[in-house]
A and B are shown apart, each in its own frame.
Chain A
Amino acid sequence: MPHEPLTPADVAHLAHLARINLPADSLGHYADQLDAILDAVSRVAEVAAEEVPPMSHPQDIANVTRADVVVEGLTRDDALAAAPAVEDDRFRVPRILEDAE
C-alpha cells in the first residue's frame, strides 16, 4: 500500500491530535522516521485477507462480568494523593473552555 510521504505539516497535525506539543524543528525528523516505519508496516497490504475476520484479541470471550458485590475502592485521599493540583477535595485542572471573544 503506497502511502504519500508524510510532510512536517502532517506530523504537526498528528501531534496536535495526540496532544503533543512538538517543537517545530523536530517535525522533519519525525516525518522521516514515521515514513520509514510506514514503508515497513505497509507490507500487511500484500496479504490477501478479504474474507478473513479481524482479530482484536487472542481469546474467544465477550461480555465478561464479575459478581455484583460491593468491594472497597480507592478512598478520596488516595485518589487525590498524586494529583498535580487539588482544590476543595477535587482535582484542580486548567480551564477547559476558551475565553469568549
Chain B
Amino acid sequence: MSPTADLTRLSALDLAAAMAAGEVSSVEITQAHLDRIEAVEPKVHAFLHVDPEGALASAASVDARRAAGEDLPALAGVPVAVKDVLATRGTPTTCGSAILRGWRPPYDATVVRKIREAGLVILGKTNMDEFAMGSSTEHSAYGPTRNPWDLERIPGGSSGGSAAAVASYSAPLSIGTDTGGSIRQPAALTGTVGVKPTYGGVSRYGLVALASSLDQAGPFARTVLDAAMLHEAIAGHDPLDSTSIDAAVPPVVEAALSGDVDGMRIGLVRQLRGEGFQPGVQARFDEAVDLLASKGAIVTEVDLPHAEYALAAYYLILPSECSSNLAKFDGMRFGLRVGDDGQRSASEVMSLTRDEGFGPEVKRRIMLGTYALSKGYYDAYYGQAQKVRTLIARDFAEAFARVDVVLTPTAPTTAFRLGEKLDDPVAMYLNDIATIPANLAGIPGMSVPVGLAAEDGLPVGLQIMAPAMADDRLYQVGAALEAGLVELYGHTTIEEAPQL
C-alpha cells in the first residue's frame, strides 16, 4: 500500500477495496484523514467540530469486526464528514448558529444512524450557513469556509463545509442538505459531485428543519460512483419521517456503474441557460452536452415556462416555513438563554435570546416569513407562491413526458469572492436560480463537475434533474459525463484542484 499521505487521494471505493484486501486498516485511513484535516483546516475551515477519538474508535471497531471475519457493508471503515445540521448523539450540533453553541443532541438523525450502521467513520461536523440559510457559507456564526480552489473565494452554500471537506481531500465522502440548491451549488463551485435525492427518498428525521417541504439530505463525493454508494447507504423508508417514501431505493449504484446514455432523451431547459450565465460556465455546459450526444443521447430543448417565477415563489415559501420551524429556538428547553435575571418575563427572555443567538440572514428570513404569513398578506404572498409551485411541478411533468432527464448549468457563475454578495440578499439569492425548481417540485438533482471555466480557471457544474424516484438516471448521465471528460482531458476536474 502507498504511504498514508496518499490514502486521502483515493476514492471511497478504492479505500473500501484496499481494506477488503487487507492492505490497509480503517484506523490508518482515518488517521490519514485526521492528519490532512489538521494540515488544511487553518486555510479551509470546512469543519465546526472534529472528533478524532470517536472516529478512531469507530475505525478500530470496524477493523476488529473485519479481523473476526465478519461480512461488512460495502463502505465499512471509510471516513465521512457530516453537515452540522444533522443531529449526532452526544456530539456538538450547532447548525452554524450561536443559538445552539455547545448543544449535544440526545439522539441520532436517521441519516446518521444509517451511516453508523454502514460502518462509515464520522470524522466530524461540517460548517454551513446558519440553519442552512445562504449560498456561500459566510452566514455561519463560526466564520466562513473557504474554497479549496481559491482561498479568497466562497465554496458555495449552505453545505459549503461538506463540499470543501471533500474538495480538499479531508474526507472522501460527506453529507449535505439541499433546500434550494445547498448541495448542488457548492458541489458545482468546488468541482465535486453532489446529489439532492427525490424529496422523501432520504429521511429528514433529525435534520434540523429549515423548510420542511423542501429540505433533503444527500451525498457529496469526488466520483459519481462514490456518491451513489453513499446515497444507497442513507436512503430508504423511515417511519419516523411522515414524508418518507415507502418504496424501493432507486438502483443508483447500478446506474453509476453502467453510465450508458445511448438512446436517452435529454432536455435542455430553454429558460435556464444562456443569458444570465457566465460565458465560461455556458461553454463547459455546451461541451458536456455535445459529449453526451456523441455517446448516443438524443438532445432536445424543453420549456419550463414558470421557472422564471421559481425564485420568487421559493423566497416566500421558504421564509414562511422557516419562521414557523425556528420558533422552537426560544431559549426554554435547550440552547442559548439570554437575560434570565429572575425579573424578565419568558417573552422578554425569548426576544433577547433570539436577537443574540440568530445572525442577520436568519432574522431577515424569519421576519419575511412572518410578514408573508400575516393576515392581509397571506393570500397574496404565501398562497400565490404555493400556486406557482403547482405550475412549476406541472411544467416538469410535461417536460418529463418528452425527455428522460433535463439539464441546466448548476449555478450561473463560478465561485465568487468572500464578501462580494454578503450584504445584498437579492444578489445572493440569484445563485440558486437553476437549482430551486427541483426542490419546489420534489424531484432529484445532481451536480457533476464538467471542467473549468476559461476566464477564471474555476470549476463548473452541470445539473441533471429527473422525475421523482428516478434518481438512478442522474447517476447514469453523471457517470457518462465523468467518463467522457476523462477521455477528453485525461483526468477528472477535481484532480486539477490545488494541493493546498
Interface residues of A (CB under 8 A from B): 1, 11, 14-23, 30, 33-34, 36-38, 40-47, 49, 52-59, 61, 64, 66-67, 74, 78-79, 81-85, 91, 93-98
Contact for B106 among A22, A81, A94, CB less than 8 A: A81
Q: Tell me, rounded to whole Å, the shortest Cβ–Cβ distance linking B384 to chain A.
A: 5
Q: Are B363 and A21 in contact (CB under 8 A)?
A: no
Interface of A is mostly: loop
Stretch from B167-175, B292-300, B308-316, B411-419 forming part of the interface with A? B308-316
Contact for A11 among B240, B334, B335, B367, CB less than 8 A: B367
- Candidate in A40, A55, A83 with the most chain B CB atoms within 10 angstroms: A55
Contacting A at CB under 8 A, from B9-42, are none
Known: A20-B366, A52-B390, A82-B335. 18 other contacts (CB 8 A): A17-B374, A21-B355, A41-B312, A45-B380, A49-B388, A49-B390, A53-B387, A55-B386, A55-B389, A56-B213, A58-B442, A59-B245, A64-B243, A84-B332, A84-B337, A94-B349, A95-B345, A96-B345
Q: Are A34 and B368 in contact (CB under 8 A)?
A: yes
Contact for A84 among B104, B312, B336, CB less than 8 A: B336
Q: Are A49 and B387 in contact (CB under 8 A)?
A: yes
A44 to B391, CA, bound (A): 11
A33 to B423, CA, bound (A): 9
**Across the interface, which residues of B come within 8 angstroms of A56, CB to CB?**
213, 386
Q: Tell me, rounded to whole Å, the shortest Cβ–Cβ distance linking A62 to chain B.
A: 10
Q: Are A54 and B370 in contact (CB under 8 A)?
A: no
**Across the interface, which residues of B come within 8 angstroms of A66, CB to CB?**
239-240
**Across the interface, which residues of A come within 8 angstroms of B367, CB to CB?**
11, 14-15, 18, 20, 30, 34
Q: Are A58 and B199 in contact (CB under 8 A)?
A: yes
B285 at the interface (CB under 8 A from A): no
Q: Tell me, rounded to whole Å, the shortest Cβ–Cβ distance linking A31 to chain B.
A: 10
Contacting A at CB under 8 A, from B222-244, are 239-240, 242-243
Q: Tell me, rounded to whole Å, the shortest Cβ–Cβ distance linking A61 to chain B.
A: 7
B429 at the interface (CB under 8 A from A): yes
Contact for A61 among B243, B363, B386, B387, CB less than 8 A: B243
Please count how many residues in chain B sit with their CB below 8 Å of the partner chain's CB atoms. 72
Q: Are A20 and B358 in contact (CB under 8 A)?
A: yes
**Across the interface, which residues of B come within 8 angstroms of A1, CB to CB?**
380-381, 384
Q: Are B333 and A83 in contact (CB under 8 A)?
A: yes
A15 to B153, CA, bound (A): 33
Q: Are A44 and B313 in contact (CB under 8 A)?
A: yes
**Across the interface, which residues of A come within 8 angstroms of B162, CB to CB?**
none
A44 to B314, CA, bound (A): 10
**Across the interface, which residues of A come within 8 angstroms of B345, CB to CB?**
94-98
Which residue in chain B gives the minimum CB-CB distance to A64?
A: B242
**Across the interface, which residues of B come within 8 angstroms of A52, CB to CB?**
387, 390-391
**Across the interface, which residues of A come within 8 angstroms of B106, CB to CB?**
74, 78-79, 81-82
**Across the interface, which residues of A come within 8 angstroms of B352, CB to CB?**
21
**Across the interface, which residues of A come within 8 angstroms of B370, CB to CB?**
14, 17-18
**Across the interface, which residues of A come within 8 angstroms of B457, CB to CB?**
none
Q: Are A44 and B333 in contact (CB under 8 A)?
A: no
B250 at the interface (CB under 8 A from A): no
**Across the interface, which residues of A come within 8 angstroms of B330, CB to CB?**
19
Q: Are B358 and A37 in contact (CB under 8 A)?
A: no
Q: Are B311 and A82 in contact (CB under 8 A)?
A: no
Q: Are B333 and A67 in contact (CB under 8 A)?
A: no
Contact for A30 among B311, B354, B363, B386, CB less than 8 A: B363
Q: Tell me, rounded to whole Å, the shortest Cβ–Cβ distance linking A45 to chain B.
A: 6
A95 to B345, CA, bound (A): 5
Q: Are A54 and B383 in contact (CB under 8 A)?
A: yes
Beyond A40-B315, A49-B387, whether A94 also contacts B340 by CB under 8 A is: yes
Q: Are A84 and B340 in contact (CB under 8 A)?
A: yes
Which residue in chain B gives the minimum CB-CB distance to A95?
A: B345
Per-position 1/0 for B426-458, Cβ under 8 A of A: 100100000000001111000000000000000
Q: Are A20 and B354 in contact (CB under 8 A)?
A: yes
Q: Are A44 and B393 in contact (CB under 8 A)?
A: no
Q: Are B355 and A95 in contact (CB under 8 A)?
A: no
Q: Tell me, rounded to whole Å, the shortest Cβ–Cβ distance linking A18 to chain B.
A: 5
10 closest A-B pairs by CB: A58-B442, A54-B386, A84-B337, A21-B351, A49-B387, A78-B106, A82-B334, A64-B242, A21-B355, A66-B239
